[in-house]
Amino acid sequence: GRTVCECYGCYGGADCSELSSECVADADSGDPVYLEPFWMQHAADTAVVISGWHRMSYNYADDTMMSIELENCIRKLHSIVGNAITEGRYMVFGVGSSQLLSAAVYALSSEISSSPSKVFASKPFYPIYKDQTVFFNSNNFQFKGDTNSWQLNNSTNSTDVIEFVTSPNNPDGELKKPVLRGKTIYDHAYFWPEFTPIPGPSDHDLMIFTLSKLTGHAGTRFGWAIIKNKDVYEKVLKYIYLADMGISKDTQLRVLKLLKVAIEEDGKPFFEFAYNQMRERWERLTFVFSMSKRFSIQKRHPLHCNFFHETRLPSPAYAWVKCEREEDDDCKAVLEAAKIRSSSGSTFGAEDRYTRLSLIKSQDDFELLLQRLTQLVFLENTSI
Ligand code: PMP
């Protein structure tokens, strides 16, 4: 008889080429694996080897809390991309940008416990802002929710207000602007040319970036803050020092290796590869949704990109899907029934009529997602 091979993952059939009808397309998490093929092409020049005896000391012992070489490399990256002003600004590294978000709330918050700072974000927003602010419970700050539901009355001093401005936004990709007049934390996790045209350099008091969405190395846990004010800088640095005694040297070395390759030829090969991946995914996704009346996705508006020197459409990391039918008020459940896993609108403080699809996972994940969506839209157009 014929030997039956076990097929990998979702595939079955004699030669493992048939997609199992049971298989669920997982577009839930924002794990940015889509750049793996780029790094496979650079396997040798991005490899890091560290001997057992090497780099053993605490970071403070040899003054490497932050590697100067890495800091300079990041400044160069920003000047090549044109997405942030770094001249005359301070920089602090963090364990992912997640840690810097909470360090920033600490640094900007009121030290008078009788009037804790009020922390806001605009719906729909990345849930960590709320979760961290609540979890790291303090007398100095309180999460107050959506900016729009908050009317700044006369008794609220603007120095007591901290607003997260996520630009581009997770989940909907919008280039957000502040709504309140207070202190701002600009979360620029997705402010890179693969996701959005870069209209000009960001020049805000406190800007946070992450390696996770730039190169896809989310597991390396590395982010950085760019800070104008010296007092704020010192507080963010104090937070990182007390929490971690600085960022792992092994991590810093790996980041340097990766960024050196990312900025080769002024970033052209890297960002073109990344952008082309995202653009192609958006073109295919837009085509499927254009045939649907039941589902819609966010509108994209062209902008001039100073990095690519042309006007382009954004290609956000996530599709923000709306279920248009009255009865489909749980959009995540509607997609789940069609074997598509997504993140519900209420996760982001929005209505469950919305749900988020991640577009930055592996090519296999994306292909499966597209197949499932195509089937769903096909059904809509054939049923009476
Ligand atoms: N900010 C935003 C808007 C994000 O979407 C994410 C990751 N999903 C982060 C920050 C945190 O990323 P990391 O801690 O990996 O840098």
Same fold, 28-39+276-382 and 68-266: no
The stretch 102-116 carries a mean pLDDT of 90
Nearest residue by C-alpha to atom 11 in ligand 1: 98
The predicted-structure confidence for 43-100, as pLDDT tens digits, reads as follows 999 999 999 999 898 887 666 678 999 999 999 999 999 999 999 999 999 999 999 9
The predicted-structure confidence for 233-278, as pLDDT tens digits, reads as follows 999 999 999 999 999 999 999 999 999 999 999 999 999 999 999 9
Give Dmax over CA atoms of the chain in angstroms.
83
The stretch 285-308 carries a mean pLDDT of 98
Say if CB 263 and CB 74 are below 8 A apart.
no
Q: What is the pLDDT of residue 381?
A: 85
The predicted-structure confidence for 303-329, as pLDDT tens digits, reads as follows 999 999 999 999 999 999 999 999 999
Q: What is the distance between the alpha carbons of residues 238 and 248, in angstroms, rounded to a whole number?
A: 16
Alpha helix positions (H), 65-218:
68-81, 96-108, 128-135, 211-215
User: Taking the model in full, what pTM does it have?
Assistant: 0.94
C-alpha 342 – ligand 1 centre gap (Å) = 17
Q: Which atom of ligand 1 is nearest the CA belonging to 98?
A: 14
Mutation test of ligand 1: which of 105, 123, 128 has the most ligand atoms closer than 8 Å to its C-beta?
128
Start-to-end CA span in the chain (Å): 46
Nearest residue by C-alpha to atom 1 in ligand 1: 189
Evaluate if residue 1 carries a pLDDT over 60: no
Average pLDDT, the chain: 93
215: helix, strand or coil: helix
The stretch 341-368 carries a mean pLDDT of 97
Q: What is the pLDDT of residue 153?
A: 58
C-alpha 97 – ligand 1 centre gap (Å) = 6
List residues bridging with 96 in a β-sheet: none
Q: Does domain 28-39+276-382 have CATH number 3.90.1150.10?
A: yes
Residue 364's contacts (CB-CB under 8 Å, 6 or more residues apart) are 9
Amino acid identity at 370:
L
- CA neighbor of 79 nearest in space, from 169, 255, 203: 203
Q: What is the pLDDT of residue 280?
A: 98
Angle of CA points 191, 193, 196, to nearest 5°: 65
Nearest residue by C-alpha to atom 3 in ligand 1: 170
Higher pLDDT, 124 or 22: 124
Residue 181's contacts (CB-CB under 8 Å, 6 or more residues apart) are 152, 158, 161
Two structure tokens written together for 282: 């958006």
- CA neighbor of 5 nearest in space, from 17, 22, 19: 17
Evaluate if residue 3 carries a pLDDT over 60: no
C-alpha 223 – ligand 1 centre gap (Å) = 9
Phi, psi dihedrals of residue 128, rounded to the nearest 5°: -60, -30
Q: Where are the domains of the chain?
A: 28-39+276-382, 68-266
C-alpha 225 – ligand 1 centre gap (Å) = 13
As a whole-number percent, the residues of the chain with pLDDT over 70 amount to: 95
Evaluate if residue 17 carries a pLDDT over 80: no
Q: Which atom of ligand 1 is nearest the CA belonging to 190?
A: 3
CATH architecture under which domain 68-266 falls? 3-Layer(aba) Sandwich (3.40)
The stretch 204-222 carries a mean pLDDT of 98
Pairing of strands 354-358, 343-344: antiparallel
C-alpha 126 – ligand 1 centre gap (Å) = 8
Q: Which atom of ligand 1 is nearest the CA belonging to 30?
A: 8
Alpha helix positions (H), the chain:
36-41, 68-81, 96-108, 128-135, 211-215, 230-244, 249-262, 268-290, 331-337, 363-382
The predicted-structure confidence for 157-183, as pLDDT tens digits, reads as follows 677 999 999 999 999 999 999 999 899
Go through the chain and tell me how many residues it has: 384
Q: What is the pLDDT of residue 14?
A: 82
Residue ranges around ligand 1 (CB below 6 Å): 30, 96-98, 126, 166, 170, 187, 189, 210, 212, 218, 223
